[in-house]
A and B are shown apart, each in its own frame.
Chain A
Amino acid sequence: MSSFLTYLISGLSLGSIYAIIALGYTMVYGIAKMLNFAHGDFIMVGCYIIFTVSGALSGNSIVGIIVAIVLCTLLGITTEFVAYRPLRGAASPLAVLITAIGVSYFLENLALLIFGADIKSFTSVIKWEGLTFADGNLRIQGVTIVTIVVSLVVLLVLQLFIKKTKQGQAMLAVAEDKGAATLMGINVNNTIMLTFAIGSALAAIAGALLCSAYPSLSPYTGAMPGIKAFVAAVLGGIGSIPGAMIGGLLLGIVEILSKTYISSQLSDAIVFGILVVVLLVKPTGILGKKIQEKV
């Protein structure tokens, strides 16, 4: 029983990381109506920044995390401005999608060029050992607890930001109707840029947590978690913030439990299989809204 609990908790922890990444995906989709397939690679960039800065400062990971958040935010803003904004209003929405894939390859190969292909061993940014319950039968690692707490805090702050601030409300307005938002005097471009900034900052946070839990770093570190987080966002209902959270947690739990009890080779197949089934039953995802027909 306690081993099941351990697996469940590590599933929650992995799911929390997916959730934080999925939040970035879903916000950008909801507001800019585009899938930023380079989002996963922002995680990798964040990890390399932490790796480099912490290494240079002999293990001071707090500074590394802060630098990573700042630089990833700038990277998100720059990418949006240079690569995506010029294509907004392009004849085909595929243009920006393909560009996003291009940005993804660009970042991966840039990392390959700078850091090489060999896998770097990442030192966890969380030094805390964790907690032990039930006379030592149930041990929860510090990184697991921190991950879950951080994701809850992120969700809460994000919800408060959107519900309570003017900029947050502007995001909702832009998500619903860019033209009407412009008529309100909202600067749509800046609002989209802000969304990218937030999403990219979240990617840096997710990177710190991911590489602390799974301490190996390569130029492709972000690719698979990125795709899984995308699945999580779709599963929860793309565009929905609580949906991204639920989808992420669910995916993490399913992945860990199927790795443990079914087969570690099959776990990814099961994860993507669930996506297929959910989309067959409820195409808009768990919390997704029905797309209203325009009258």
Chain B
Amino acid sequence: MEPLLEVKDLSVYYGVIQAIKGISFHVDKGEVVALIGANGAGKTTTLHTLSGLINANKGDILYKGQNLTKIPNHKIVSLGMAQVPEGRRVFAEMTVLQNLKMGAFTRSDKAEMDETLKMIYKRFPRLEERKNQLAGTLSGGEQQMLAMGRALMSHPDIILMDEPSMGLSPIFVNEIFQIIQDVNKDGVTVLLVEQNAKKALSIANRAYVLETGSIVKEGPASELLNDESIKKAYLGE
């Protein structure tokens, strides 16, 4: 079976510095794939390149048979790829509801949108309670939920999540990871970028380890969890 997303020999430069050094990986439909690595390994750069916020200098990003490097970045969402960006980046001066509606910017069927909104409120009851509140006044965990809800509003086939646990209390971290699993069970493929490698590996099917712009290891998440070098470098054991 052809993978849903396939990255081939991707290179990204910031000026003269090569941030991504020809990486290749794939995500199959229905999977949770984790991309783990230390600060500055190139995880966020990879996701930004997938969503077209940064241009690839070399390589291909194949998604549903299309090469995303050749598609204008604002058209990527309507192909079914959404991103929950690092640091959440909710629109602080808009209400929760307006933020969610922004997530559905590319959709035109209002009835379907309302249906999705209902589902999101069911998954995140707190967002419904606070729908008229400005997003900037939410707590970090609530903003993370909003960022996820906003991405889900586009009804994606694959969702890219960048450090969803960053800066959250342990209770929220557990909640967020539970939600990621639930979203995946509902049929959304997940590409998860995390510094919290232990958590990420515990819910992922497969994982790739990124080190200074290169993939140094890959395999089933359960195997990586027991890998001695991974344990030492990323799991703090």
A binds B: yes
- On A, residues with C-beta under 8 Å from B are 166, 169-170, 172-173, 176-177, 179-188, 289, 292
Interface of A is mostly: helix
Offer 13 A-B interface pairs, CB within 8 angstroms, sorted by A.
Answer: A169-B102, A170-B105, A176-B91, A179-B53, A179-B85, A180-B91, A182-B52, A184-B77, A184-B150, A185-B75, A185-B105, A185-B106, A292-B92
CB pair B52–A179 under 8 Å, yes or no, is no
Count: A-B pairs, CB below 8 Å: 66
CB pair A183–B77 under 8 Å, yes or no, is yes
Which among A169, A180, A187 has the greatest number of chain B C-beta atoms within 10 A? A180
State the 5 A-B residue pairs at the shortest beta-carbon distance, nearest first: A185-B77, A185-B106, A180-B89, A187-B74, A184-B105
CB pair A172–B53 under 8 Å, yes or no, is no
Q: Which of B19-27, B93-101, B196-204 contacts A (4 or more CB under 8 A)?
A: B93-101
CB pair A185–B74 under 8 Å, yes or no, is yes
**Distance between A255 CB and nearest chain B CB, rounded to angstroms:** 32
Residue numbers in B under 8 Å from A188 (CB-CB): 74
Q: How large is the interface on B (under 10, 10 to 19, 20 to 34, 35 or more residues)?
A: 20 to 34
**Distance between B183 CB and nearest chain A CB, rounded to angstroms:** 17
- On B, residues with C-beta under 8 Å from A are 48, 51-53, 72-78, 82-83, 85, 89-94, 98, 101-103, 105-106, 136, 150-151, 154
Q: Determine the residue in chain A with the shortest Cβ distance to B135.
A: A176
Q: Determine the residue in chain A with the shortest Cβ distance to B106.
A: A185
Residue numbers in B under 8 Å from A180 (CB-CB): 85, 89-91
In the complex, A188→B74 CA distance in Å? 8
CB pair B51–A182 under 8 Å, yes or no, is yes
Residue numbers in B under 8 Å from A173 (CB-CB): 91, 94, 102
**Distance between B35 CB and nearest chain A CB, rounded to angstroms:** 18
